[in-house]
Structure 1
Amino acid sequence: MDDVDRRILAELQRDGRRTLTDLAESVGVSASPCHRRLRALERDGVIIGYRALLDPTALGFTFEAVVFVSMRHGDTDTVAAFEAALGEVPEVRDAHRLFGDPDYVLNVVARDLAAFTQLYDEQLAALPGVDRLRSTPVMRTVVADRPLPPFVGL
């Protein structure tokens, strides 16, 4: 990966809908080599996808919470079952496995407090291996979907 590839990645993180011509111009190469580099970055798994960023509130998801999950057991089967089941809960926007306690931290959205309470009681608490859940509502999102920092050393 060279400086041109890094510039391509930085530009795409700012605006993934740019045309190939605009992208090529902004990184200082012609369209054909830019296209080849872009395809190579996708093929090599550096670029893993493209998506639109949506405003949850505009779509009716007015409640957000951070949920901390402590597991009863940390064996491979329990972790695999929990993570597979968690993947089926669409309200979970992010899930991270942690070292120590809690074992997981989740970012969850819901239409309102009542919907979150139902999700918490009926789905999250029933996930395989869950010992304890703790949650706190999000007051305000300060940083979200930030691009990766400069990756000069690659």
Structure 2
Amino acid sequence: MICGKIHAVDAIDRQILAELQRDGRQSLTDLAARVRLTVSPCHRRLRDLERAGIISGYRAVIDPPAAGFGFQTLVFVTMREATRDAIAAFETGAAAIPHVIDAQRLFGEPDYLLRVVAADLDHFQRIYDEQLSALPGVQRLNTTLVMRTIVDDRPLPL
């Protein structure tokens, strides 16, 4: 979005987005060929998608176990109170913990869902004891161990 206006995404923009989700490292020349445009209009559309915030960035997708984070948990957080200050303090604190790789505010109970990675159970226990349990405004933490990830970081169905 730019200035509160929705950017119109047409079929060609959707093709560009789908191609970039499939392979974000492809050259502009390859991208243009795949969406059947010349390089200049493809580049212009790509810049427009970036400026509009539809493309919010580029990154490498890293396999957590291969990087030493073979232990994942889902932590459900129930807050003591839902005041503006309590929510802001909790969200700032959760965002500052590097091992929290995904955090979502939920409607109803619980209030938040955090996805946390660690090397192993002992490492997670330290994160839990020293960081998660110290987050401001927390009434209760419930943790579920992830047995296996089935779908992760799936591209949007464009």
Shared fold, TM over 0.5: yes
Segments of 5+ residues of structure 1 without an aligned counterpart are none
Structure-2 residue corresponding to 1:40: 48
Q: What is the TM-score of this pair, normalised by structure 2?
A: 0.93
Instruction: Flag as ranges the 4+ runs of structure 1 deviating above 2 A.
Output: none
Measured on the aligned residues, the alpha-carbon RMSD in Å equals 0.6
Distance, in Å, in 2 between the alignment partners of 1:33 and 1:40 is: 10
**Percent of aligned positions that are identical:** 62
Distance, in Å, in 1 between the alignment partners of 2:10 and 2:130 is: 50
* 1:132 alignment partner, one of 126, 129, 140: 140
1:71 aligns with 2:83: no
- How do residues 71-90 of structure 1 correspond to structure 2 at under 5 angstroms? 71-90=79-98
Distance, in Å, in 1 between the alignment partners of 2:10 and 2:95 is: 36
How many residue pairs match? The answer is: 150
Cα deviation for residue 149 of structure 1 reads 1.3
1:115 aligns with 2:152: no
1:13 aligns with 2:56: no
Amino acid of the structure 1 residue aligned with 2:99 = E
Distance, in Å, in 2 between the alignment partners of 1:116 and 1:131 is: 19
Cα deviation for residue 26 of structure 1 reads 0.2
Match of 1:38, SS state, is helix
Cα deviation for residue 2 of structure 1 reads 1.4
Distance, in Å, in 2 between the alignment partners of 1:33 and 1:77 is: 47
Distance, in Å, in 2 between the alignment partners of 1:20 and 1:8 is: 10
Distance, in Å, in 1 between the alignment partners of 2:90 and 2:21 is: 32
Structure-2 residue corresponding to 1:98: 106
Segments of 5+ residues of structure 2 without an aligned counterpart are 1-8
